[in-house]
Amino acid sequence: MKFLKQRLTKLPKTEWSYDNETPEMIQPKIKLWENEEGKTTVCLSSEQGNMSSFEYLGEDYIVDIKPELQNWAKQYGWVWECQYQGTYFLREEY
């Protein structure tokens, strides 16, 4: 995943921040892990508070990641792969 950290700065703003008087859109929180081989894994999860980054069936059943996040990944040859409901890992598209 070449240029990962640089491209993560362009992640679409899908979350709301209420830290200021006026709410503003911000990028979702992601977690990065590096394995012993030096490969990086990117995780976007509702467990990290990213509730606005997903599409829902009803009010609380997550069915997919938002299209703007899918499109962002696709432009770099990546896809968001669902690991379990509300948790997606970024991987290279085959």
Q: Is pLDDT above 80 for 2? A: no
Q: How confident is the model at residue 37 (pLDDT cuts 50, 70, 90)?
A: confident
Question: How does pLDDT run across 43-94, given as a tens digit for each residue?
Answer: 999 999 999 999 999 988 999 999 999 999 999 999 999 999 999 999 998 7
d(C-alpha 47, C-alpha 29), whole Å: 10
How many domains does the structure of the chain reveal?
A: 1
The overall pTM is greater than 0.95 = no
The C-alpha angle 29, 73, 37, rounded to 5 degrees, equals 75
Q: Which domain covers residue 24, as residue numbers?
A: 4-92
Residue 82 phi, psi dihedral angles, 5° rounding = -70, 125
